């Protein structure tokens, strides 16, 4: 199969898959929280357009609803909430110095290769577009985990978690041509609740260790050292 | 006939390069509310410089004197390889894109040597910075180029452009990445604003200007012209590889005219984009350049990966 033989929608979905992968990388290397949240919103926008494209090309109109939910939640509400919290806690000027940025980036690139390698055995009985998009979404999931591992700010962890969810959502869209509406609504609700809960956690972490840097949690000891 | 056309194309390259620089300057001046010099000012500068007596330090060796000629001819040779208005010309068939990168490296090598040769502090500093930056930029550029050549299954520029033309408009994710990587590399390699500022001679920041500080007269003219050619080469590479539509495939007069019009239009648009980015962004600190270039490399790598993962035929 060559990309020239695919129809325009498949090409567009593949391009969006690639761009979603790129946004994951951008998040991985980002030290500023506001920019991190902005890139996260961008990823949500790409996800939303992928959903809308899939809805249009598969004639599966309830996917439009889930695209709308994605737009409202992941492009506007969650980034807005995170931004508000960042501004409220006055950490928007902090630049997080990433340890070993180059190593993290190269690790990310190898995760992409790994996810493709893992999915390669399923090659024979799947359409290739689906396989490619699945590989990309698996790599988005893994990159989200790497983001959570490599960053120290709690807000970055939340963004990483949400981008894992983005990857899973993208996988669901391309592989199942849309889940049942109930499931999608449930997931959207879960994400919303998670976002709000994280907001409360931020407050608690901040009030107990006076910072959102999770490395500081190591200092919490029963015994005085 | 074909050889004459190839010659004409190369001459067009050489004559249009200062015009492109002048146009970029015009756009920048317009964006920054300044009064622009004439579009033909670079030609006048070159003319003036060629009529001045070059001053050569008595510490300089023959390398210093010969370098401008080597650099200029390397750039002209590079220009002869890149299709400007028509594909399938004989010079384009004789060398591929890796040779083109080789020409750039060759010219840079002599420029750095000339900077070191004179023994001033600035020359050495500029040379070391230039080599640092290019050692990071070259892999990124090669990654972007390999993405293209793997898609077209040929390292020949003419054939690759022909391949892109044959398939019409295809949305290739790898090309999006490669395009951005090439844009970033082009800015770094031609010494434009986030990396180097071609307009100033500020001691601590200059890179390219530091190396050519000791040149004057016709030597300086040749070096300036070579760097204008390099800027145009990168512009043409980006325009013709990623948006080749309009380039002449037959060698008729109308097709060639169309090709010329198209490439002039594309370069003018690219120049406007460059002027915008130069106006919007401030120059980076030198130690952040490697982050910038490693991002370009990452883009190139992602382009390559997405070619293999998303596009390659199986």
pLDDT tens across A195-223, in order?
888 888 888 888 877 777 777 777 777 76
Q: Among A42-56, A185-199, B207-221, where is mean pLDDT lowest?
A: A185-199
pLDDT of the residue at A207: 80
Every domain of chain B and the residues it spans:
2-311
Task: Show the low-confidence residues of chain B (pLDDT under 70).
Answer: 312-314
CA distance B230 to B17: 8
Region of B34 on the Ramachandran plot (φ > 0 left; ψ -120 to 50 alpha; else beta)? beta
pLDDT of the residue at B34: 92
Please state the rounded mean pLDDT for residues A102-129. 81
pLDDT tens across B190-242, in order?
988 888 887 777 777 788 888 988 899 999 999 999 999 999 999 999 999 99
If you measure CA to CA, which chain A residue comes closest to B176? A15
Spell out which residues of chain A touch residue B173, defining contact as CB-CB under 8 Å.
14-15, 17-19
pLDDT of the residue at B216: 92
Pick from A4, A22, A25: which is nearest to B170 by CB?
Answer: A4
CA distance B253 to B15: 20
Chain B residues with CB within 8 Å of chain A CB? 167, 170-174, 176-177, 291, 294-295, 298-299, 301-302, 305-306, 309-311, 313-314
Judge whether residue A1 has pLDDT over 60.
Answer: no
Give the closest residue to A3 by CA, choosing from A133, A100, A105.
Answer: A133
Instruction: Assess contact for A138 and A114: CB atoms under 8 A.
Output: no
pLDDT of the residue at B271: 95
Do residue B171 and residue A128 have CB atoms under 8 angstroms apart? no
ipTM: 0.80
Do residue A136 and residue B309 have CB atoms under 8 angstroms apart? yes
DSSP string, A21-44: HHHHHHHHT--BHHHHHHHHHHHH
Q: How confident is the model at residue A225 (pLDDT cuts 50, 70, 90)?
A: low
Do residue B314 and residue A1 have CB atoms under 8 angstroms apart? yes
pLDDT of the residue at B119: 87
Spell out which residues of chain A touch residue B310, defining contact as CB-CB under 8 Å.
3, 14, 17-18, 132, 136
Please state the rounded mean pLDDT for residues A100-113. 86
Give the closest residue to A18 by CA, choosing from B173, B198, B36.
Answer: B173
Report long-range pairs for A83-88 (Cβ below 8 Å, ≥24 apart): A83/A34, A83/A37, A85/A155, A85/A199, A85/A202, A86/A33, A86/A34, A86/A37, A86/A155
CA distance B20 to B234: 12
In this complex, how many residue pairs, one in chain A and one in chain B, have their CB atoms less than 8 Å apart? 62
Average pLDDT across chain A, whole number? 84
pLDDT of the residue at A123: 64
Query: In Å, how far is A15's CA from the nearest CA of chain B?
Result: 5
Q: Choose, out of B168, B293, B298, the residue to mutate when testing the contact with A (most A CBs < 10 Å).
A: B298
pLDDT of the residue at A151: 86
């Amino acid at each position: 199969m060559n990309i020239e033989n695919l129809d325009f929608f498949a090409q567009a979905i593949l391009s969006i898959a690639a761009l979603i992968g790129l946004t994951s990388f951008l998040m991985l290397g980002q030290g500023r929280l506001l920019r991190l949240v902005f890139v996260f919103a961008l990823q949500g926008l790409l996800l939303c357009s992928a959903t809308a494209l899939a809805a249009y090309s598969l004639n599966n109109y309830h996917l439009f609803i889930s695209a709308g939910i994605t737009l409202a939640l992941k492009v506007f509400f969650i980034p807005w909430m995170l931004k508000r919290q960042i501004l409220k806690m006055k950490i928007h000027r902090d630049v997080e110095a990433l340890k070993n940025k180059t190593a993290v980036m190269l690790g990310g690139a190898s995760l992409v290769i790994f996810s493709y390698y893992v999915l390669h055995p399923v090659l024979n009985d799947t359409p290739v577009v689906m396989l490619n998009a699945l590989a990309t979404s698996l790599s988005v999931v893994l990159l989200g985990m790497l983001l959570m591992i490599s960053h120290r700010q709690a807000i970055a962890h939340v963004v990483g978690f949400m981008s894992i969810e983005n990857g899973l959502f993208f996988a669901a869209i391309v592989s199942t041509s849309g889940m049942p509406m109930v499931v999608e609504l449930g997931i959207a609700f879960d994400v919303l609740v998670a976002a709000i809960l994280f907001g409360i956690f931020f407050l608690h972490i901040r009030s107990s260790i006076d910072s959102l840097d999770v490395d500081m949690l190591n200092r919490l000891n029963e015994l005085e050292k | 006939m074909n050889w004459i056309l190839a010659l004409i194309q190369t001459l067009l390259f050489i004559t249009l390069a200062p015009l492109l620089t002048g146009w970029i300057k015009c756009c920048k001046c317009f964006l920054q509310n300044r009064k622009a010099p004439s579009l033909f000012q670079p030609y006048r500068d070159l003319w003036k410089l060629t009529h001045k007596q070059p001053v050569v330090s008595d510490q300089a060796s023959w390398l210093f004197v010969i370098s401008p000629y080597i650099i200029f001819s390397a750039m002209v040779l590079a220009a002869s390889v890149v299709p400007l208005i028509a594909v399938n010309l004989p010079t384009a068939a004789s060398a591929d894109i890796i040779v083109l990168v080789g020409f750039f490296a060759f010219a840079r090598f002599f420029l750095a040597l000339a900077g070191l040769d004179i023994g001033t502090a600035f020359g050495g500093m500029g040379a070391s910075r230039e080599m640092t930056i290019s050692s990071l930029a070259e892999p990124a550029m090669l990654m972007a180029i390999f993405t293209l050549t793997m898609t077209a299954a040929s390292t020949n520029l003419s054939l690759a452009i022909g391949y892109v033309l044959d398939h019409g408009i295809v949305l290739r994710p790898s090309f999006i990445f490669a395009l951005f990587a090439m844009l970033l590399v082009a800015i770094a390699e031609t010494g434009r604003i986030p990396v180097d500022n071609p307009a100033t001679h500020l001691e601590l920041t200059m890179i390219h200007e530091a190396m050519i500080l000791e040149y004057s007269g016709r030597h300086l003219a040749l070096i300036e012209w070579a760097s204008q050619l390099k800027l145009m080469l990168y512009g043409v590479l980006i325009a013709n590889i990623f948006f080749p539509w309009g380039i002449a495939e037959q060698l008729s007069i109308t097709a060639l005219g169309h090709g010329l019009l198209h490439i002039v239009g594309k370069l003018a648009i690219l120049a406007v984009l460059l002027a915008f980015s130069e106006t919007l962004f401030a120059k980076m600190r030198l130690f952040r350049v490697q982050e910038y270039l490693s991002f370009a490399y990452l883009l190139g790598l992602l382009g390559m990966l997405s070619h293999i993962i998303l596009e390659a035929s199986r």
